[in-house]
Chains A and B, each alone.
Chain A
């Protein structure tokens, strides 16, 4: 993105993502901005788009339909330069459910990791050619260390986190920037019915933190910021103790 000016064209992957939409809201996009919402639920995207007050186009995007991702990116970039790509597609399924039906774990990994890789590699190529732009990747504190209570989700986020860090380095000097976002427990649709973990946050807090980080030059943002300290502690917990954690 041409910071600190506002982005003119934005692509949100995961077009109904609460966090993704909260980032767009926090950016206070001017009415002339063109927002591309890419997701599965056209109706919900259209409704979300009306809230944004910019010109919105919805594109059908299935994170697990890997073969379609290159064409989707080509479509998004066909209308002009894209200044900001937000990779926010994600699902959360309970570990018990995944253990009952391991195939669903495969879908989770495809949605939360593999689909980001295929889409972002295609987008990064386009951004590199246009010489500017920003990618925002939504990782998680779960990427820090896998917990047995949430191990598939944690593994997928670890993969995404590592991919994003590597991609950021490969884009260095290209004019393209990658901002890696690691929220903690986010109270919202995805975590409905779950007991919030310590240092829980909200989609709008994540949105505000990302908007602030986009105005600066940081490459990683923790929400809340104190999670960065907690992450150091999480890594330091001895494994015999770690495996006794219940959640």
Chain B
């Protein structure tokens, strides 16, 4: 067995830059090294970290080991290009660069292409096509997982459904994901036809999202607008072009995300209730009533990736994203949450609304049929903690749940009220990791590990 290299002590945070903690960071490791580390059952535990794009403390393990990147990168496209087997530490951008020229696309594209596949599977990530295509768990053929016994398992949805359901969305507590095989979809063009329309209030926005027949649909919500304009926003719908654009794609399909500019680290937070309102109003007003155009994959799916490290521009206190889903019929909860963050003057500066159609396959998967709303807020405002605790209770009462990948503050009791399959998940985890090797700050906070 190969020796595990010495790691370095590093202070880690999530994308929201709250809740820093220190861990020994290692990696990339080969499978034997990971197995050696796991069977040694180190004090403080082990956790795989992907790109560090979860917002809170999901990819931190204070006082223990964090594998980042966990694995050696590789991408193996099947001969017929119907699927791709990749190392867990490979990013979506790297996969797209390989498969788009072959006329293939990943069936689920999250809001940033920087995510790693391992991280995406651990949170059962979704994209703008959640309604029709589900989350990534619906498209996985195989997960190669090193469990708490140090055993390398091949986990398939049909062959080992219990382990599969516990691992997708399992936040890394069932083992270290080392490789994943994902089905791919064919595309004829790497461009999308995108239409945008401005909607004057929440009802109109929900109606337009519900009526959308496009493959991809997402709405930006002005979370600062109140009264009759509450929940106004812009609906962006997208579809792949059915044929390559003869002018733009005469040399074939390409994925060119362009070089990201680095955001400056700003020593204060410019987001206040006033600036959030001003910015959101301006954004709403400057949008055309309805537009249509053609854009590339990065322009539609990963617009924020054009600014590397944009989280640093939001000041040293960091920020939170409150993303929750409620079933159809609980639309009132969406309005109540927006109103509540306005009343407490929490400076919500970004809102994103999606229609969900298919539940994730994992016990702890976030998606369920209904509405998903994500609100970004600066951290550190005193009333925020109590406010979000109240919102948790409302979301849970409506039958909804909060997304763990975005969370930095949920309490254990609220988690138990939201995730009904928790006991089943715990039973499987008990078998896969009886010694509690896989741990994280989030897990300790909410009682998952």
Q: Which residues of A contact B (CB under 8 A)?
A: 2-6, 8, 28, 30-32, 81, 129-132, 173-176, 211-212, 215-217
Contact = CB atoms under 8 A, between A and B. Distances in A.
Contact of A215 (B20, B385, B445): B385
Contacts of B384: 4, 215
B297 interface: no
A129 B408 contact: no
Contacts of A174: 11, 22
A132 B22 contact: yes
A175 B57 contact: no
B386 interface: yes
Size category of the binding interface on chain B: 20 to 34
Interface string B178-191: 00000000000000
Interface stretch (B237-245, B327-335, B410-418, B423-431): B410-418
19 contacts: A4-B408, A5-B19, A5-B56, A5-B408, A6-B411, A30-B412, A30-B413, A81-B62, A81-B63, A129-B63, A130-B44, A131-B22, A132-B21, A132-B441, A174-B11, A176-B22, A212-B382, A216-B380, A217-B380
B19 A3 contact: yes
Contacts of A216: 317, 379-380
Given A129-B63, A174-B22, A175-B11, A4 B320 contact: yes
Contacts of A3: 18-19
Contacts, number: 85
A215 B380 contact: yes
Interface of B (DSSP majority class): loop
Contacts of B273: none
A178 to B, nearest CB: 14
Given A31-B413, A215-B382, 6 more contacts: A2-B21, A8-B445, A132-B19, A132-B20, A176-B22, A211-B382
A32 B385 contact: no
B409 A5 contact: yes
Nearest to B24: A131
Interface of B: 11, 18-23, 44, 56-57, 62-64, 316-318, 320, 379-382, 384-386, 408-413, 441, 444-445, 447
Contact of A175 (B21, B317, B379, B410): B21
Most B C-beta atoms less than 10 A away, residue of A81, A130, A131: A131
Nearest to B19: A2
A132 B440 CA distance: 12
B63 A131 contact: yes
Given A130-B63, A175-B11, A4 B19 contact: yes
B18 A4 contact: yes
A210 to B, nearest CB: 11
A131 B62 contact: yes
Contacts of B21: 2, 131-132, 175
Given A4-B385, A131-B23, A217 B317 contact: yes
Nearest to A209: B382
Contacts of A215: 379-382, 384-385
Contacts of B408: 4-5
Given A4-B19, A5-B19, A28 B380 contact: no
Contacts of B44: 130-131
A175 B444 contact: no
Nearest to A2: B19
B412 A2 contact: no
A228 to B, nearest CB: 18
Contact of B409 (A4, A31, A211, A212): A4
A31 B380 CA distance: 23
Contacts of A8: 444-445
Most B C-beta atoms less than 10 A away, residue of A5, A28, A174: A5
A5 B445 contact: yes
A174 B63 CA distance: 10
